[in-house]
Structure 1
Amino acid sequence: MYELSSEKDHAKANVQAHLMSDKMKKMPIFKTMFSSLMHYPWYNLRLEERNPVPPFIDQRWRGRAQQRLEVLQQLSRSQPSLQIPQIVYEDPEISGRNRYKYFERTEPYVYPSITSDRSRSPTSRTLGTQTDYRDGEAQTDPYSPEYVVPLGSIPELLTLATLTWGRGLPAGQAEVEMIERAREKRAWEATLPPLSDLSQTEKRRKMMDDMERKEWTFREQEIEKLQDVRLEVLKKLLRRREEDQNEVDVNRLDTHWFNRQQDKEERVRKIKHEHIKAMRKLIAKGKNVEGKLERRDVIRDYTDYASQPYGPLSRIGYFPDNHSERYVVKNHFLNTYEGLLELEASLPHSVTQPQTKAPKPKTTTTKEGFIKRTSRLDMELAQVHQALLEKKNKVKEPKKPLHFLQKITKPVPRPLTPILLRPSTVSWIFLEVFTVNPMFEGKEKRLELIRELRTTHALQEDGKLLKKAEKQVTLALQRQRDLHEHKLSLVENHLARIEGRALVNMFDFLSKELVRLQEERRIHAFAMLAERQRRIQEAEESGRRQVEERRRREEDEIFKQVVKVHQSTVDSYLEDVILNSMESTAEEQAREEIQKVAVEINDIAYEMESRRTCLQSEEIVAELVYGFLIPELQKISVKEKGKEANTEEFHLCRHLMEENMQPCEQLVPASTDPPEHWLSPTVSASPGPSRAASVVLLKPHCVHRKH
């Protein structure tokens, strides 16, 4: 016997997989397990590694074949002729290797669970008790017993069935008046002519019209009373609202004034603080106007007892009161008697023996002899003060005796009225105690019996009539009281309804207005804060951007300069190194080559000197004469010949120039420069024949310029 998963199990697993999508699990924190604060949570969320797919199901991608099969299944809905290949599932091998998955050993010895005998719940139980000593203490309406109405009778009590507890009961004056009017109306209806009597139809209509007018008059009076009451209530509400509004205005003004006072005090405090700070800065600047930096003079600080070492400022973090024991003065002159005597002897005489001088009297007159205005005012004030003191301390004068006495004649006395002597107070008290009080106490003790005898055993006709009259009076008073209470309850109900409606409307309006004002102020405050925050952020961002741009330019320039300096330093350093190395290398190589050549030449010279003969010496002398001496003599002779030729050519050119310059001097008489001015430097600078030729060639050009 084995079991397979049904469609119901698959649906249940599918629903659980969809519903249990929350993979987050709450893990409690031991330290803050019972915390309800947001910044100290009592749990952490942990991702639970739970896979709803069973492990025996392959979750790998099934490839193109599965997609092709799904597409064919979708197309088969619209094209029934399309054939879908059947899916061949793997053999589950129920009776083979997978037998343990489907079969389970039964338990033959299974005992039913022992059911414990449960105690039956009681049929009733007491939730609480209530002891009522009066009907007024009960929470429900008073008990009304069942009744049966006899045929043909209409009890008056049934007409009052609409009156319930809290709505007409207990009856007041208004209810009593309503009952009396209902009785009068029933009595009036009894006096109406019957409808069957057509001869008295007019009389019946007239009586009904009169009754209707009376009812309308009564109704109008009630409406007027209600209107008056409503008007009074409205006046009272308006007066109360005005008082409340005045109180609110006063409170608002007081709050505003208090806030303004606080702002004023805060501003004054800040201004004083800024003033003190500015004065301190000015004093500090005034001490060093020229701005020179001075070193601290320790000697000056310790000679000045108002300096920082003796009296440091508390704003720099030093409080002298913390170390008050340091400033305890211990002096021989103050702690001993001999020291005090010595100190007193050292003091001058004017210190121990004070001298008092009488003050000079104030002058009340001027130099001209007139009284000063201030002195005159002081005198007038002193006179007024003295008059007030005399009036205050004035003692009443005693009555003086009469100077002239007059005799007053008395009228003739009337005869005495006879007086009936009453018993004394003591005798009256004894009489009351022994006679009246026992009778009163007996009457109070037997009051119930007396009432019972009066109600049940009143056999005399006079007693019955008296009892009936008392009953009627009592009932009338009760009706009047019930009607009055009913009217009062109606009036109170109307007043409460009107007052409640007005209060509800007023409170509703005020609450809505308050909420609207609060929301408006909150939105305005949020808008102002957002605008202010935006402006502050824009200003900060613009300032930050400018600072960053300036800093970036400075850093770029610094980097360029540093790199340039480094590059130039490296280039100059490398160039110096290379040049030094080249010079040193070239110098060393040249020195080595020169030394080598000198050594070789020296060796050759020594060798030739050692091998030279007389003939070779003569040949060397001949070569020197023919190679150096004779050519030098030829050069000197050639130079001398050239100088002589140049001198002859110079004289010739000068003669020709003087002849050609005469017409130019006639054309330009203002010219004072001689012709030699132009040619002398050139001639003097031209030692050879080539320079003389150049001078001759320049002659026509100079003449052309002069023309």
Structure 2
Amino acid sequence: YDYGSLFSDCPCYTVKLDPAEPLPAVTNCQWRGHAEQRQEHFLILIFIFSHLRDNLTSVQINADAEPSHCTVEVQTDYRESETQTDPYSPEYVLPPGRTPPELLLKLASLTWGQGLPAGLAEVQMIERMRAKLAWEATLPPLSDLSQLDQRRRMMEKMEAEEWAFRDAEIQELHDARLAARKDLLKQRDEAQKDVTTKRLNLIYSAHQDNIENQKKKIQNDYMRGMKITTPPSGDEEKELAVIYLQKLLRGRCIQYEMAKGKKNHQDLIQEQRAIYALQNDEHQLQKAEDECVKKEIRHKMCQEEARRAGAVGAELHQLFDTLSKELIRLQEERRIHAFMLLAERDRRLREAEESGRRQVEERRRREEDEIFKHVVQVHQESVDLYLEDIILAALGEKADQQAREEIHRRAKEVNDIAYAMEESRDSLHSEEIVSELIYSFLIPEVERINVQQKVHRKQLKHLQAARAILYGAAQPSGKVHDAESATCVTPESFPQHQLERLSQEEQENEAASPT
């Protein structure tokens, strides 16, 4: 087998295929088949080893709440761009008991190719809808009758803004259409120019081809005439002379016969000449009559054309007159509408100024009322303070006087009782008073001192032990003080804050003990 035909001597070029939809560099374009197969295997294993628990309770699902089937569409990663249809847009389903947002309901009419994917115009529309919803939220409620005028003014202002925005949109559409018409006219002119240029080029090329052909023909004829001819031989000269003589004799014979025939038929020739002369006169008369008839027909056609043009002119005059009147009416209507808008604007400005002046007057009246209230309140407070000071001074003097009288009276009563007790007191009563003083004051004080000494002795033991522990931990050689050095610990050598903490803990323990 000859393998040489399988190869080519032509230079090889690298073939590069551009993707139908170029993806960004961060997107992973590797095949994800292995990962998907792995996920499928994991799902199968989970399904095999999964089991239901016995303690699960069955729940009755409402069949009406969820659809029995759902529509699912799949798009592959590797596809032909020519077979791509509109992307799948799932239906918007709300859970039961939820209210759909108003903005989302207004965007439900957008479909692929008609608003989707969203561009600058759709984003502006969404922003305007959000602004309008925010504006509607700021409107005064209809239940408030005092703000109906403000609500009406706000709605009129919003309506004027909507009309202005709509006029701007219409103007933009008109500008876009005008630009499109201009582009179409420009393209048509360019196409016409291209066709004309092509035609002129064809004519010019044909003319140039004709000139070139003529030049070539002239050059060929010139080159053909420059050829060298050989002289004729003697036999050929004789033959040519005989042929030429025969031609002369034949021509002379024909001339003689023609002259003889002309002479014999001279009368007939004269008669025929006369007839042809008469026919020429008749032809001239016929031509004159035809010219007259043509002139009449042309005149009639001109008259009909003039009448037709007059009728068309009258109709056009009436049409133009109607259009001019309609234009004047529209201009007057626009002017009246402009005057009406100006008058409405002036009226609104006057109303705004009047409302502003009214608000200023009302605010000034409220300020004056508030100032008057504050002044009256200040006067009233001054009077109240003056009366309160007088009343308090009188009450203080009266209470002081009554208190002095009551004190004098009580002191007198106590003195009388003390004098009576002194007069009626004996030795037993005096001893009883002394014993009560001893048991009430002296004995409790002695017991309190004893308790404090006991607590102090207990705290001293704890303090000595803590001092020994602290000094034992502080020595680097690890030596421990003996009992004699431990007995040398005094409360004065221990830190004050630790003594206070230990004494507080001892008191708490004593208080917590049942004894």
| TM-score when normalising by structure 1 | 0.20
Greater C-alpha Rg: 1
Q: Identify which of structures 1 and 2 has the higher relative contact order when contacts are C-alpha pairs closer than 8 Å and 6+ apart.
A: 1
Higher helix fraction (1 or 2): 2
| TM-score when normalising by structure 2 | 0.27
